[in-house]
Structure 1
Amino acid sequence: MNGLVLATFVAVYLGMALGRWPGLKIDRTGIALLGAIVLFAAGPVSAERVLAAIDFPTLIVLFGLMVLSAQFAACGFYDRVAAGIASTDARPATILLVVIVVAGLLSAILANDVVVWAITPLLCRGLIARGLDPRPFLIALAGAANAGSAATLIGNPQNILIGSVGQLEFWPFAAACTPPAIAGLAAVWLVVRWQWRDALAARPVNGEALPVPPVQRSALLKACFWTIVLMAGFTTPIPHTTTVLVVAGALLVSRTMATKQLLGLVDWHLLVLFGGLFVVTAALADTGLPAITVERLEQAGLLPDRLAVLAPLALVGSNTIGNVPIVMLILGILPDLPDGSLFALASLSTLAGNLLIIGSLANIITVERAREAGVHLGFLEHARAGIPMTILAQALAILWLYLAGYVMM
C-alpha cells in the first residue's frame, strides 16, 4: 500500500503546483478531496484515521474567522472602504499608501482573501473613473494583504494552521511576526512606488464619483464589537476554538441578516482543501517515509529549523505548490518544530506569496476579480514588482528573526 500512498501524495501535490490536472477542470480543492477519497476507498486510511488526521481546531478557527469577515462584507464595510479610497482627491502616490495601510491592517485581523475579494472590484471602477491605471494599486492591495496577514495568528490560513499545530499564543506570535509584516508593507510601498512611478505620476481627473455604498450600521457595530471580544479572548487562557465559536455563534444570531447570506460568504472550498490535505499528509506519515526523510536531512544538516534551509524552502514551495500546502507538508514531516522556527515559517511562507501571482490565493483572487472589472494584470507585470518586493521583505524578515534570537541562521 505504500506505493499507492506515495503515488497519491505525489499526484495531489503536483496538482497543487499546477493548479489542476492537465485535461481536467478539477481544481486544487477537488484534487485534495479526490486524493483523500482514493486513500480511504483503497484502504490505506480507515474512517477512524480520517477523523484523527483532520485537525479540527484549525478548521474551527478558520471557519469562525471566515464568519467574522463575512459579517464585515455583508454589512457593506469593504465596499465603503474601497469607494472611499478610490474617490479621494489625494495624489496617486498617497492613494497607494492608503491602499497599503488599509489592506495591511484589515488583513492582520480579518482573512486576507476576503479583504481583496471584496475591495478589488470597486477600487478598480473608482480608479478607472478617475483616469488612473489600477494595476499598481492592485499589486499593492494584494501585496499588502499578504504582508499584513503575516503579523497575527489569524491573518491567513497557514498562520492559523501553524498556531494550532504549535499551540502558539496570540501575542507572543504577534510580537515576533509584526516587525517582518511591517517590513513587508514597507517593501510593497517602496517597490511599487518605484516600478510604477510613471503611472503614479498621472494627474487624477474629476470623473464621475462612485455612489457611496450603503452600510448597515447596526451590523457593522456588531462586527466591530465581536472583533474586540475575539481579540480580548485571545489574551485569556480560554482555548482559541471556544472564543472563535462563541463569536461566530453570536454573529449568526441576527434580525436583519439571514444565516444563509452569512454562511454563503464562507470559503467552504478552502475548508475542504485543508481537510483533504490533512488526510493525504497523514497517510504519508503512516508509511514511515517522512521519518526516514527527517533522519537523512538531519544527518546532512538540512532540517528546516534554520533560516538557511527554511527561507529558500518557503520561497520555492509557496510559489510552486502554494504556501498552505508547503506549510502543511513541513508540519507533517516535522510537527515538533520550536516556536522560533514556527514564527519564521509563518512569516517567510506568507511573505513569499508576493513573489508571483500563483504564490498566494490573495494574488489570484485579486487578478480574477480585477478581470471581472475590466482590468488585466499580467503575470510579468506583477512579477516585476513582486520579485523585488519579496526579496527585500524576506531579507529584512530573516535579519529580524536572526538578530532577535528566534531562529538560527
Structure 2
Amino acid sequence: MYLGVLALTAFVLTVFLLVYLGLFLGRLPFLQLDRTGVVLLGAIALVATEVVPLSGIGEVVHLPTLALLFAFMVISAQLRLGGFYDWVVVWLDRRALAPPVLLGAVIAVAAALSAVFSNDIVCLAMAPVLAQLCRARGYAPLPHLLALACAANLGSALTLIGNPQNMLIGEVLRLDFGDYLRVAALPVLLGLLSTWVIIAGLSRGHWLEASASLLPSALGRAGEVGVPLDRWQTFKGLTVAALLCAAFLWAHWPRDLLALAGAGLLLTSRRLHSRQMLGLVDWQLLVLFVGLFIVNHAMQQTGLPAQAVAVLADEGLDLQEPAPLFAASVLLSNLVSNVPAVMLLLPVAQAPVDGPLLALSSTLAGNLLLISSIANLIVVQAAARQGVVIDWRAHARVGLPVTLVSLVIAAAALLPWRA
C-alpha cells in the first residue's frame, strides 16, 4: 500500500516537473510540442492513468474562469472583424501628433483597451498598423511598439477581465470587481505615466528613422489598412462590453454567466458568420487552462506543495505573508509565465490582500523580459513582419526600468493592506 502511494506520488511529481520544464523552455527537447502541447500531454497522462478520473474533470477544471475567458474572446473577435482596432490606430494617425504625444496616446489607448479586452488581442491587432503608421510618417517605430507592449501589460492589470490570470484570480477568490478596480487604479496609472517618462527619456533625439523626414501619413487610405471599420458591428461589440462592465460594477450576478450571455448575443448575427467569430477564439489558451487545472490538481492531491510551503515558512519565507508571495509571483511569472505561476500560488492566497497582490505582481512582471509575456512576443513578431527588429537588449532597455518602477509602485500601494 505504502509503495503504491509512493509510486503514484513519484509519477505525479515527474509529470508535474516535465510540464513546468516545458513551460520554462517553451518546449520539450526532441519533441514538436509548444507550451500548450506540453501541458496537454501531461494532462492526458494523468487522465489516462486515472490519477485524475475522466468523470471528475468537471470538478477539477474551474468552469467559470473558462466561460469568462471564452466570452471575452468572442467579444474581442467581434471588434476585430468590425475593424475597430485598425480604426483606432488610423484615428491616431489622423491627429498628426508629434512623436512624444503619439507615444502618450498609444500608451493611453493600449492600456484602456487592454483593461477590458485581452492585452494579447490588442497587441495582435494594433502592432502591425502602428508600425505602418510610424513608417508612413518617418517616425522611429521601436519606441512606439515597445510602448504598446508595456502599456498593454500594465493596462490589463487594471481590471479582473484584462487578462487570463486576473480572470482566474477574480473568479477563484470571488473578488469584487469594483473593489479590485479601486486598489489597482493608482498603481496602474502611475505605472503608465512612468512608462511614458522612461521611453520618452530614452528616445530623446531618436524620434525619427535614420534618413527619414516628417511626411504626411498615407495610412488609412483605401486598401492600405487591414480591416475597414464596420460601424454597426463595432457599435454592437462596444455596447455589449460597456454593459458587461457596468453590470460587473453594480450588479451582483455571476460574471461568467453575464459574459456568456453577451457573447451569445453577438454570435446571433445576420452578417458575421459564427465560423469567423469562433475562428478568432484562442482555443490553445483554453486548452492550456484545462491542462493546467488537471496537472496542478493532481500535484495538490499529493500534499507535496503544502509541505514545500511549510518548509519555506520554517526557513523564513512564509508565502502567506505579502512580501514573499509578491516576490514569488514575480519570479515564477518570469520562469514559467504568469498563468501557471498564479495557478501554483493560488492555494496559499488566504488574506484579502493576496488577490490584488497576485493580479498586480504577476501582470506587471510581464514587462521584465521579452519572453515574460505573450503580448511582448506578439509585438516582436508583428514588428518583424514590418521590417522592425526588436531584440532582447532593445526590450530590456525599456522593460527592465518599467517593470522595476511599476512593481515598486504596486508594492507601496499594497502596504496599507498588511493590517
**TM bucket normalised to smaller:** over 0.9
Q: 1:57 aligns with which of 61, 64, 78?
A: 64
Q: Distance in 1 between matches of 2:17 and 2:294?
A: 14
Q: 2:260 aligns with which of 220, 226, 245?
A: 245
Where does residue 384 of structure 1 map in the other structure? 397
Residues 137-157 of structure 1 show CA distances to partners (whole Å, capped at 9, x for unaligned) of: 111001000101101000000
Report how far residue 360 of structure 1 moved. Answer: 0.9
Q: 2:350 aligns with which of 313, 332, 337?
A: 337
Matches within 5 A, 1:7-406: 7-200=14-207, 204-211=214-221, 214-234=228-248, 235-331=250-346, 333-334=347-348, 336-402=349-415, 405-406=416-417
Partner amino acid, structure 1, of 2:294: V
Worse-superposed segment, 370-379 or 33-42: 370-379
Partner amino acid, structure 1, of 2:413: W
Question: In angstroms, what is the RMSD of aligned CA positions?
Answer: 1.6
Q: Secondary structure at the match of 2:159?
A: coil
Contact 1:16 1:322 in 2 (8 A): yes
What stretches of structure 2 of length at least 5 have no aligned partner? Answer: 1-7
Q: Distance in 2 between matches of 1:89 and 1:254?
A: 36
Q: Distance in 1 between matches of 2:129 and 2:364?
A: 26
Q: Do the aligned partners of residues 62 and 381 (structure 1) sit closer, same or farther apart at CA in structure 2, a change above 3 Å counting?
A: same
Report how far residue 296 of structure 1 moved. Answer: 2.2
How many residue pairs match? The answer is: 404
Contact 1:8 1:35 in 2 (8 A): yes
Q: How does the TM-score come out when normalised to structure 1?
A: 0.95
Q: Distance in 2 between matches of 1:356 and 1:100?
A: 19
Residues 212-265 of structure 1 show CA distances to partners (whole Å, capped at 9, x for unaligned) of: 652111111111211122012212111111111110110101111111111111
Where does residue 5 of structure 2 map in the other structure? none
Report how far residue 389 of structure 1 moved. Answer: 0.7
Residues 10-67 of structure 1 show CA distances to partners (whole Å, capped at 9, x for unaligned) of: 1111111111112333111111111100111123221133222111110000001111
Report how far residue 201 of structure 1 moved. Answer: 6.2
Q: Distance in 2 between matches of 1:326 and 1:102?
A: 28
Residues 360-380 of structure 1 show CA distances to partners (whole Å, capped at 9, x for unaligned) of: 111111111222222211111
Q: Distance in 1 between matches of 2:32 and 2:203?
A: 35
Partner amino acid, structure 2, of 1:326: A
Partner amino acid, structure 2, of 1:292: Q
Report how far residue 205 of structure 1 moved. Answer: 2.3
Partner amino acid, structure 1, of 2:417: Y
Where does residue 3 of structure 2 map in the other structure? none
Q: Distance in 1 between matches of 2:260 and 2:374?
A: 25
Q: Secondary structure at the match of 2:353?
A: helix
Q: Secondary structure at the match of 1:122?
A: helix
Contact 1:108 1:149 in 2 (8 A): yes
Residues 150-199 of structure 1 show CA distances to partners (whole Å, capped at 9, x for unaligned) of: 01000000000000110111100111111121122112111111122232
Contact 1:58 1:164 in 2 (8 A): yes
Q: Distance in 2 between matches of 1:315 and 1:355?
A: 9
Q: Secondary structure at the match of 1:198?
A: coil
Contact 1:307 1:398 in 2 (8 A): no
Worse-superposed segment, 217-226 or 16-25: 16-25
Q: How does the TM-score come out when normalised to structure 2?
A: 0.93
What stretches of structure 1 of length at least 5 have no aligned partner? Answer: none
Q: Distance in 2 between matches of 1:86 and 1:297?
A: 53
Partner amino acid, structure 2, of 1:354: N
Where does residue 4 of structure 2 map in the other structure? none
Report how far residue 320 of structure 1 moved. Answer: 1.3
Q: Secondary structure at the match of 1:199?
A: coil
